[in-house]
Chain A
Amino acid sequence: MTVSEVDQPPQTTDDAQALAARCLALEERLDRLEAAQPEDKVAIVVFSGDLDKVLASFVIATGAAALGQEVSMFFTFWGLSVLKKQRKLEGKNLFEKMMATMSPSSSKQLPVSQMNYFGIGAKMLRKMMADKNVASLEEMIEMSQEMGVKMLACEMSRDVMGISEEELISGLEPAGVAAFLGESLRSRTNLFI
């Protein structure tokens, strides 16, 4: 159909019916396209348990939430250390105990990815941030929860590493890969940190 044909008023009832059917088909297509549009959402995978990388993810998360975006953070593997409030060895098997002993017992124990030097580097970075009036990681975690940032804890890696739910902070949602994908597929921004 050429443009001039479309501009013409329908000549016969057949033309009118064909046009109506085409409109309907286009409307359906538009609905499908609109449903598949990404939303004002940000999805972040926090895989790392390094203080500097985790800080970056929380600055982005709180910033995005302030901009009115819906934010979900999916914590997996070393990232689960960020959510720890305490270490509990009871009920763990040998490997789990080893893992727990060698992992940070809470967010306050996270190492930095460079120049850690057995935790001195992390302490130094925290001091430098406090001197420059940058919010601490713990303040940012609290702020994120206040602002409605969704925090999902990967159930599989939590189970593999033998981290019990009592070791983690409250307000978390247990989640699997599909729960994360459900968020990320509809998000405009996806980050893996």
Chain B
Amino acid sequence: MSEVTFDDELDARGLNCPMPLVKARKQIGSLDPGQVLKVVSTDRGSIKDFQGWAKIAANIELLAQETEAEDDQDLFLHYVKRVN
């Protein structure tokens, strides 16, 4: 389990590219600067996608990424902090 604390969570299980990113972007807009959004995805591509997002956007920071096994599938967890 992760040590990262978060303020809000987005369940993006079952969603495919580009939906995890699109939904995360929408939801992080409702957070205050400094707050953290946890995104749970089943899309393997989301690992690189969230890294790309953090590289391009100045207003977010990718705190951590984890892979967790759930039943018969892998879950990809992303902790995104809204910087401003």
Residues of chain A having any CB pair with chain B under 8 Å: 40, 59, 62-63, 65-69, 132-135, 143, 147
As a 0/1 sequence over residues 47 to 65 of chain B, the CB contacts with chain A under 8 angstroms (1 = contact) are 0010011001111000000
Q: Is B33 an interface residue (CB 8 A)?
A: no
Q: Which of B19, B24, B25, B49 contacts A135 (CB 8 A)?
A: B19
**B53, A67: Cβ atoms closer than 8 Å:** yes
**B14, A133: Cβ atoms closer than 8 Å:** yes
Residue of A nearest to B56 (CB): A67
Residue of B nearest to A68 (CB): B57
Given contacts A66-B53, A67-B52, A68-B57, contact A59 B21 (CB under 8 A): no
Residue of B nearest to A132 (CB): B16
Per the bound structure, the CA–CA distance linking A133 and B16 in Å amounts to 6
**A59, B18: Cβ atoms closer than 8 Å:** yes
Q: How many CB-defined contacts (below 8 Å) exist between A and B?
A: 40
Instruction: For the A-B complex with A63-B18, A67-B21 known, give 19 more contacts whose Cβ atoms are closer than 8 Å.
Output: A59-B18, A63-B21, A63-B22, A63-B49, A65-B22, A65-B25, A66-B22, A66-B25, A67-B53, A68-B25, A68-B56, A68-B59, A133-B15, A134-B16, A134-B17, A135-B16, A135-B19, A143-B22, A147-B22
Which B residues touch A132, using CB under 8 A?
Answer: 16
Per the bound structure, the CA–CA distance linking A63 and B17 in Å amounts to 8
Residue of A nearest to B15 (CB): A133
* Interface bin, chain B: 10 to 19
Q: Which of A62, A68, A69 contacts B18 (CB 8 A)?
A: A62
Which B residues touch A143, using CB under 8 A?
Answer: 22
**A59, B17: Cβ atoms closer than 8 Å:** yes
Q: 4 tightest CB-CB pairs across the interface, nearest first? A: A66-B25, A63-B18, A66-B21, A134-B16
Per the bound structure, the CA–CA distance linking A28 and B57 in Å amounts to 29
Given contacts A62-B22, A143-B22, A147-B22, contact A67 B17 (CB under 8 A): no
Per the bound structure, the CA–CA distance linking A165 and B66 in Å amounts to 49
Residue of A nearest to B16 (CB): A134
Residue of A nearest to B19 (CB): A135
Those of B14-53 within 8 Å (CB) of chain A: 14-19, 21-22, 24-25, 49, 52-53
26 A-B pairs, CB-CB below 8 angstroms? A40-B56, A59-B17, A59-B18, A62-B18, A63-B17, A63-B18, A63-B21, A63-B22, A63-B49, A65-B22, A65-B25, A66-B18, A66-B21, A66-B22, A66-B24, A66-B53, A67-B21, A67-B25, A67-B53, A67-B56, A68-B25, A68-B58, A133-B15, A135-B19, A143-B22, A147-B22
